Amino acid sequence: MDKKRVSANTHMKVIPIRLDASFFFERAVQSLDRYHYDKALKYFRRAIEFEKDNPMNYCNLAGVLSEMGQFEESNQVLQEVIDTIDPSMIECHYYMANNYANMERFELAEEALGYYLENDPKGSFLEESDELMDYLSYELQRPTRIKQIKAREGLFEHDGARGLLEEGRFTEATRMLEAIVEKQPDFMAARNNLALAYYYTGLFDKSVATIKEVLELEPGNLHALCNLAIFYQHLGLEAEVQELIRTLRKTYPMQLDHMFKMATTMGILGEHDGAYQLFKRLLKLGEGESDPSLFHYTAVAACSIGRYEEARRMWKQVQKLDPGSEVAAYYLRYLDTKDESQEAIKLHYHYHLPFEEQFRALTKSEHGIPEGLKEDPLVRSSFFWALRHGDYATKLQVIQAFGLIGDNEVREALTDFIADANEDDYLKRAAIFVLRDMGIKEPLMAHLGGESRMVKDAAFGLNLPTWEAKWQAVIELAHRNMHGRYDLIEQHDLETMWIEFLTRVYPNVPRITKVEGWAAALEYLTAKMYHRAISYHEVAARYQASVSTIRKNVKLIDEVCGLKDKMDAILSQLLKIKQ
């Protein structure tokens, strides 16, 4: 009886086996756990027989083939998924990239990885892709040609825009950042950098508005609070600055980038003791062991609170780390000659000579602007700022300096400047001259004489109904002879003088048989206007014209244009610039 009962019970507990895709999937997984790849391969193939439209079965099969070193066959399976089963399985391209890398077909691996990164919005394999990119870059002996990562949309572009800001290419950076913010309104870093780009180019209203947008979306954003405080300081909004300083004093940054941002901000705002403490913390954390700029910032803060010997030690460390820099030497000279009772010089939390020192050196240089300074973002931002907000004499200097830089950023800045109804007409004419000297031939839109007009030729803004070839030849000959000996503003004034003379005597313009005598007369008068030493015999030899002809032309131009008053005005202008 007992045996029968047992037998009956045993029969009752038999469970029928369902041979379906799930069964073979489970068997495959168990085989993989035991590293029995051949069995796993067999079971995954059986799973596909039951579910031919399930892309995961194919991906699992491809994975086993890859583990077994059958990379070519693995890719054939993955390609079948992409082509016929489920084209939305973007991750298949990542798997294929790994297979190609294992086959040492690195170009194909790069292509497959690029397709995956450019089309996968989730970024399921971002970290692994970074490692694979590094490996491919090493094997290809060049950076990978992957320019966009969809899951990090905007980050590549943002890094590019930050690079442009660091290079001083502010207009290009502004356009890129505006596009990023339009696509991704919640990208706070891009908004902060867009505000900086506006600020560097002197667009203060836009910079403040952009920062306020950041703080509306993220009220505690430290970078935005710091930037807004600096913007307010430049706008002279003292009450708003103090309110932000009170907020910042209560903030204790823990991240290194936040600590550095707050330290430099507090220093710029005149909170030197707070800046000093933060910079010292950064040095203790080992951040500045090989960074001369951090020692410079700490020295500036120390000097600002009367710790002169510590500042001296810091600047000497700067000299050790960066022997070619003039920055430490400049401030050490100040410490060596400083009278304790004397008010301290204006110190700058930038690892550069003070802008005033750089500008003074540039205007005295006979060799133009050194290449390094042309690309220096601080110098460039100072130029852009001065063109918008400087006084008359400073703007004139900047226009001339822009002629020596002569890149696309300069072109855009000067093009905007000549279209501004609020700027002085003489300055705009000087800017047009610089643009022409840069090789820009097309018509320019300028606001001159109270109206906007297209400027097409040398007779810009004046009412000459025609422009004769011989009149142009006089200017061109004078410019050829003056090149390298006169600056751009002086050459511009020569051109202006000639156009003014022709306009005043028109239509009774003297007959011009030899351009040499007129060009020599214009150079002579320009030299006199700028109190340069010159003689009739000197220009006669240079232009191969007779002294009597030059003297006669000088007298006529002087009488028509009233140059004595102009000379007095230019002398006054030069005195302003030298102050």
**What are the boundaries of each domain within the chain?**
21-152, 200-335, 373-455, 469-578
Architecture of domain 200-335: Alpha Horseshoe (1.25)
Tell me how far apart the alpha carbons of residues 404 and 411 are, in angstroms, rounded to a whole number.
12
pLDDT digits (tens, 9 = 90+) for 301-332: 999 898 999 999 999 998 998 887 778 888 88
**pLDDT > 50? residue 475:** yes
- 373-455 and 469-578 in the same fold: no
Read off the pTM.
Answer: 0.51
Average pLDDT, rounded, for the chain: 79
Bridging pattern class, strands 451-455 and 444-448:
antiparallel
**Token pair belonging to 294:** 């951090």
Residues 6+ apart with CB under 8 A from 569: none
Tell me how far apart the alpha carbons of residues 533 and 548 are, in angstroms, rounded to a whole number.
19
Using pLDDT thresholds of 50, 70 and 90, give the confidence band for residue 378.
Answer: low
Please give the CATH number for the structural domain made up of 373-455.
1.25.10
Residues 6+ apart with CB under 8 A from 417: 387, 399, 423, 427, 428, 431
Tell me how far apart the alpha carbons of residues 573 and 576 are, in angstroms, rounded to a whole number.
5
pLDDT digits (tens, 9 = 90+) for 138-179: 888 888 877 677 666 667 778 888 887 877 778 888 888 998
At 213 the pLDDT is: 93
Q: Tell me what the mean pLDDT of segment 484-495 comes to.
A: 80
Identity of the residue numbered 208: V
At 277 the pLDDT is: 92
Question: Is 110:145 a contact under the CB 8 Å cutoff?
Answer: yes
Task: Give the residues across from 455 on adjacent strands.
Answer: 444
Question: Is 260:244 a contact under the CB 8 Å cutoff?
Answer: no
User: Could you tell me which residue, 208 or 340, shows the higher pLDDT?
Assistant: 208
Q: What is the largest CA-CA distance in the chain?
A: 148
CATH class belonging to 469-578: mainly alpha
Give the homologous superfamily in CATH for domain 21-152: Tetratricopeptide repeat domain (1.25.40.10)
Question: Is 56:22 a contact under the CB 8 Å cutoff?
Answer: no
Q: Which of 62-66, 213-217, 402-406, 575-579 has the lowest mean pLDDT?
A: 575-579
- Highest average pLDDT, of 87-96, 160-169, 459-468, comes from 87-96
Residues 6+ apart with CB under 8 A from 248: 225, 226, 229, 262, 265, 266, 271, 274
Tell me how far apart the alpha carbons of residues 224 and 199 are, in angstroms, rounded to a whole number.
13
Residues 6+ apart with CB under 8 A from 331: 299, 300, 303, 311, 315, 347
Tell me how far apart the alpha carbons of residues 196 and 193 are, in angstroms, rounded to a whole number.
5
Tell me how far apart the alpha carbons of residues 300 and 271 are, in angstroms, rounded to a whole number.
12
Q: Tell me what the mean pLDDT of segment 74-102 comes to.
A: 89
pLDDT digits (tens, 9 = 90+) for 246-256: 988 888 787 78
**pLDDT > 90? residue 97:** yes
**Cα-based distances in Å from 455 to 409, 412, 443, 446, 468:** 20, 16, 5, 7, 16
Question: Is 45:77 a contact under the CB 8 Å cutoff?
Answer: no
Number of Cβ within 10 Å of residue 555's Cβ equals: 11
**pLDDT > 50? residue 2:** no
Q: Which of 298-302, 408-412, 504-508, 569-573 has the lowest mean pLDDT?
A: 569-573
Q: Which of 106-110, 334-338, 477-481 has the lowest mean pLDDT?
A: 334-338
Using pLDDT thresholds of 50, 70 and 90, give the confidence band for residue 382.
Answer: low
pLDDT digits (tens, 9 = 90+) for 224-274: 999 899 888 877 889 999 999 998 888 878 778 888 889 989 998 999 999
User: Could you tell me which residue, 386 or 345, shows the higher pLDDT?
Assistant: 386
At 459 the pLDDT is: 47
DSSP string, 458-516: SSTTS--S---HHHHHHHHHHHHHHBTTB-HHHHHHHHHHHHHHHHHHTTSPPP-S-HH
Tell me how far apart the alpha carbons of residues 215 and 224 are, in angstroms, rounded to a whole number.
7
